[in-house]
A and B are shown apart, each in its own frame.
Chain A
Amino acid sequence: MTENAVDNQIRLALAADDPAALELIWDRYARDLLVYLQALLCSRSDAEETLQEVFVKLVRKRRHLAKAVNLRAYLFQIARHEAATSAKRRRRQPADAEPWLVAAEAVTYDQGVADDLARALAALPQEQRAVIVLKVYRDQTFQQISEVLGISQNTAASRYRYGMDKLRILLRSWSHESQ
Chain B
Amino acid sequence: MSRSDHEQLETLLRRCRPAEPSAGLKTHVLTAAETAWREHPAESASWRIAAWRLAGSVAAAVLVVFSAGWGSDWALSRWQPSPGRVCIQMKSAPGDLNENDDLPWRRLARINVIISPPEDTLDQLLWYRQSMQRLFEEEMDRVPVRQEGQRQGRMDLMGTPAWTLS
B23 to A: closest C-beta gap in Å: 11
Within 8 A of B (CB), among A51-108: 51-52, 55-56, 58-60, 62-63, 100-104, 107
Residue B16 lies at the interface, judged by CB distance under 8 Å to chain A: yes
Q: Which residues of A contact B42 (CB under 8 A)?
A: 17, 62-63
Closest to B26 in A: A26
Residue A22 lies at the interface, judged by CB distance under 8 Å to chain B: yes
Within 8 A of B (CB), among A1-19: 17, 19
The proximity string for A residues 152-172 relative to B, scoring 1 for CB distances below 8 Å and 0 otherwise, is: 000000000100110110010
B51 to A: closest C-beta gap in Å: 15
Q: Which of A34, A62, A164, A165 contacts B20 (CB 8 A)?
A: A34
Within the assembled complex, what's the spacing in Å between the Cα atoms of A161 and B10?
12
Q: Which residues of A contact B6 (CB under 8 A)?
A: 161, 164
Contact, CB under 8 Å: A117 / B12 = yes
The proximity string for B residues 1-42 relative to A, scoring 1 for CB distances below 8 Å and 0 otherwise, is: 100011001101111111111000110111011101100101
Residue A147 lies at the interface, judged by CB distance under 8 Å to chain B: no
Q: What secondary structure prevails in chain A residues at the interface with B? A: helix
Residue B157 lies at the interface, judged by CB distance under 8 Å to chain A: no
Interface size of A by Cβ–Cβ distance < 8 Å? 44
Contact, CB under 8 Å: B16 / A117 = yes
Residue B45 lies at the interface, judged by CB distance under 8 Å to chain A: yes
Q: Which residues of B contact A100 (CB under 8 A)?
A: 18-19
Contact, CB under 8 Å: A168 / B25 = no
Q: Which of A31, A39, A136 contacts B14 (CB 8 A)?
A: A136
Q: Which of B5, B16, B26, B32 contacts A102 (CB 8 A)?
A: B16
Sorted nearest first, the 8 A-B pairs with minimum C-beta distance are A55-B33, A114-B16, A59-B36, A107-B15, A56-B36, A52-B29, A17-B42, A38-B18
Give me the interface of B with A, judged by CB distance under 8 Å.
Answer: 1, 5-6, 9-10, 12-21, 25-26, 28-30, 32-34, 36-37, 40, 42, 45-46
